Amino acid sequence: MVTPQENKTITIYDIAREAGVSPSTVSRVLTNSANVRSEKKEKVQQLIKKYNFKPNALAKGLSDTKSKLIGVIIADVRNPYYAAVFVACEVAAKRRGYMTLLCNSLGDMQQELEQMEILRQQRVDAIIHLGGRADDLETNKKYVKKVKERLNVPLVITGKLDGLDCYKVQIDAKKAAELLMEHLIEQGHRKIALIGGRLDVISTYEKYQTYMSMVEKYQLDFKEEYIITGHYNNETGYIGMQQLIEQNTLPTAVVAINDYTAAGVMRCLAEHGYRIPQDVAVVSYDNTDIAKLLMPTLTSIDYNYDLLGERLVDTAIGAIGQEEVPELQMITPHLVVRESSVWTVQ
Amino acid sequence: MVTPQENKTITIYDIAREAGVSPSTVSRVLTNSANVRSEKKEKVQQLIKKYNFKPNALAKGLSDTKSKLIGVIIADVRNPYYAAVFVACEVAAKRRGYMTLLCNSLGDMQQELEQMEILRQQRVDAIIHLGGRADDLETNKKYVKKVKERLNVPLVITGKLDGLDCYKVQIDAKKAAELLMEHLIEQGHRKIALIGGRLDVISTYEKYQTYMSMVEKYQLDFKEEYIITGHYNNETGYIGMQQLIEQNTLPTAVVAINDYTAAGVMRCLAEHGYRIPQDVAVVSYDNTDIAKLLMPTLTSIDYNYDLLGERLVDTAIGAIGQEEVPELQMITPHLVVRESSVWTVQ
DNA sequence: GTGAAAGCGCTAACAC
DNA sequence: GTGTTAGCGCTTTCAC
């Protein structure tokens, strides 16, 4: 049998004893919270190194009521969008001396609430919540009520939650949709379809709205059939595209709700013998790894995940420290043009 | 400014006072560690519900020296392989009353060591480490030495670490390679190339070895040029395939080290006008989401991520509880056949 | 079956 | 500057 190495866990008291000082002095050099005579300080530091001493985070957290933990509830880290945001959060948090505690809610409200409880139990100092209830177009009253009752730490989201004091770091969905539409219009497209996503998700709804106003503004050829909602996956893209083809309402360009959906759209087009982008151009949101793997490579909207993660974390930490933090911040997306929408790219 | 809701955090003492019992009694009903007269028990439980009381995990952990946290160090959760394993671990851990604390090492040894320290500081009860040093073919002595000195909780890995007591839940790489090779051989292939991966990674090396013995066993047409190592990404696949084409050593089938690499291989083939699988078949390991998105869809080896995650976690928890846990366990992979290797599969 | 008390390892007044 | 003391919120003997 394998037995864990028995490295006696040493405490602040052990250090203090051997250094000939009091535990508080050790604590002081640990936290740098007060001046300590340099000889003692050095002695202590030397012992800390010698024993590779790391203060017990549980005890520290219990004592000063700060766990230095930020809870992150996301829909699903297996989705590359959330994975990118999470890693960015982790990096940003680490840089500021925090750890992240990740929970995958799988978009389920019960899980979201339960995970919030668990995070509360772990005494996280703040919670970042992406996806699920935090991105609904219509705020779920019951959810807000429960959260309000239970949560006593700052909450940061990318969507909105009416009637709840929380911080928002949003991606400018309007801008994102405009970039895509203007790009397509520049390429001469006037028949543009929208595939995938649910209109009860705020960012999706905003993209839809922006689309409609662009249709108006540029007097595009519009058909009801061009709007196909659904999920955020491959199948939705495939089925949606199939529908357009079968209905004889083929557009010259498709805006997919994300890269997964775009992949489905592209497969369907290919199977039916349509060339991309010559016959139908395809573009999408999120610019995940997938965009570079597809053939042709996919034009997509990038959100600057590093910046998004940093903003989320900075906002959380600012709020923890009772700083004056803006309630609403915006991330400006940008367009990454690839083969699926332009003939002559690289 | 947004202020966090001031929900007074209530403690075991508050419950005790209102219930007219002692804190220990509350603790007893909380942990179910001793019999409590049912009236008192009910009274306490009722108050717990009333106030939605959740015991402070920090205090509990400090007191009983069990954090109920499992640290998970992986190379990069943005890689769908690791994302799948992590989510499986999270689910399995949750089912058993544990939380997971995720760290992305990005394959860097310094980070791995640092994260191990941080996890130690958080008093995790066990660590699961995937990728990086825990998957080296040649164990890094320095790494093992440091870990040995520092770690005092069970360690579970999928690779190997010589000279370190730890638990291993391995994927049967030999079996995986055999499945792929036999599948290709059945399809009549005798010129099979290997693209991507580093031979200093144990699983990759084992796949390479198995390949060589299959070449021997089935007397396949072998060329040195058929072995192309590199990274685990798209580019490696593209460049590797290009090399085979330019050298005039085109095989009839390619085994890519993962789905990313396969995507690169497929792109290169497509750009050169080769049909998949008619001219060249492509197969790979990991069976991530990507396999279903590519065109044609990709034949790949699946590892049963749920089972893998469960085994990792069960092993960790067993070891925490000082149970007799097998030092080495094997996960049997299986083949998922798709379009990229067979003509008639839809 | 239940309460009192000590202790987990740290921080933070408060004195000196 | 530095030590003493009192918590932080639980669990766990140890009596009764």
Per-residue pLDDT at B114? 95
CA distance A164 to A124: 19
Contact A73, A129 (CB under 8 A): yes
Which pLDDT score is estimated for A49?
94
- The first and second tokens of residue A95, run together, are 């840089």
Portion of chain A with pLDDT greater than 90, in percent: 94
Q: Are B314 and B267 in contact (CB under 8 A)?
A: no
Nearest residue, CA→C1' of C12: A64
Check whether A346 has a pLDDT greater than 50. Answer: no
The band of A8, judged by pLDDT with boundaries at 50, 70 and 90, is confident
Q: Is the pLDDT of residue B5 over 70?
A: no
> What per-residue confidence (pLDDT) applies to B7?
66
Residue A301 backbone zone (phi > 0: left; psi -120 to 50: alpha; other: beta): beta
Question: Are B4 and A327 a contacting pair at CB < 8 A?
Answer: no
Confidence of residue A34 (pLDDT cuts 50, 70, 90): confident
pLDDT given at position A5? 46
Max CA pair span of chain B: 86
Render pLDDT for A290-342 as a digit per residue (tens, 0 to 9): 999 999 999 999 999 999 999 999 999 999 999 999 999 999 999 999 999 99
Q: How confident is the model at residue B77 (pLDDT cuts 50, 70, 90)?
A: very high
pLDDT at B34: 85
B284-298: average pLDDT: 97
What pLDDT is recorded for position B235?
A: 98
Question: In this complex, do A2 and B154 lie within 8 Å of one another by their Cβ atoms?
Answer: yes
Please give the pLDDT value at position A7: 65
Average pLDDT rounded to a whole number, residues B169-184: 98
> pLDDT value at position B121?
95
Tokens, residue B36? 């409590």
CA A147 / C1′ D13 distance in Å: 39
Contact flag B78-A289 (C-beta cutoff 8 Å): yes
Q: How confident is the model at residue B150 (pLDDT cuts 50, 70, 90)?
A: confident
**Nearest nt to the B60 alpha carbon by C1':** D10
Q: How far is the CA of B22 from the C1' of D16 (A)?
A: 15
Distance, Å, A97 CA → D6 C1':
28
**Predicted confidence band of residue A2 (pLDDT cuts 50, 70, 90):** very low
Q: CA nearest A136: which of A75, A216, A56?
A: A75
Q: Which nucleotides of C are covered by protein (CB under 7 A)?
A: 1-5, 7-13
- DSSP letter for each residue of A168-198: EEEE-HHHHHHHHHHHHHHTT---EEEE---
Q: What is the pLDDT of residue B197?
A: 98
In this prediction, residue B13 has a pLDDT band, given cuts at 50, 70 and 90, of: very high
Whole-angstrom CA distances from A102 to B94, B153, B344 are 12, 21, 43
Q: Does residue A211 have a pLDDT over 50?
A: yes
> What is the rounded CA–CA span in Å between residue A256 and residue B182?
39
| Binding-face residues of B in 202-241 toward A, CB within 8 A | 234
Taking only the tens place, the pLDDT of each residue in A274-295 is 999 999 999 999 999 999 999 9
Identify the pLDDT of residue A6.
57
Q: Which nucleotides of D are covered by protein (CB under 7 A)?
A: 1-5, 7-13
The mean-pLDDT minimum among A33-42, A93-102, A111-120, B307-316 falls in A33-42
d(CA B250, CA B6): 69
Model confidence pLDDT, tens digit, residues A169-184: 999 999 999 999 999 9
Query: Is the whole-model pTM more than 0.85?
Result: yes
The whole-chain average pLDDT of chain A stands at: 95
Q: Residues A186-206: what's their mean pLDDT?
A: 97
- Per-residue pLDDT of B237-274, as tens digits, reads 999 999 999 999 999 999 999 999 999 999 999 999 99
List the alpha helices (DSSP H) in B51-172: 57-64, 80-95, 109-121, 141-150
Q: What is the pLDDT of residue A288?
A: 97
Distance from C-alpha of A338 to C-alpha of A187, rounded to nearest angstrom: 13
Share of chain A above pLDDT 70, in %: 97
- Mapped onto helix, strand or coil, the DSSP state of residue A282 is strand
Looking at CA atoms only, how far is residue B286 from chain A in angstroms? Answer: 14
Q: Does B3 touch chain A (CB under 8 A)?
A: yes
pLDDT at A138 (0 to 100): 97
Q: Do B165 and A5 touch (CB under 8 A)?
A: yes
Query: C1' nearest to CA of A60: which nucleotide?
Result: C10
Mean pLDDT of B320-327: 94
- Give the torsion through C-alpha atoms of B271, B274, B278, B283, to 10 deg: -50
Check pLDDT > 50 for residue A3: no
Q: Nearest-CA neighbor of A158 among A172, A145, A178, A143?
A: A172
Contact B67 A61 (CB under 8 A): no
- pLDDT for res A343: 80
Q: What is the mean pLDDT of chain B?
A: 95
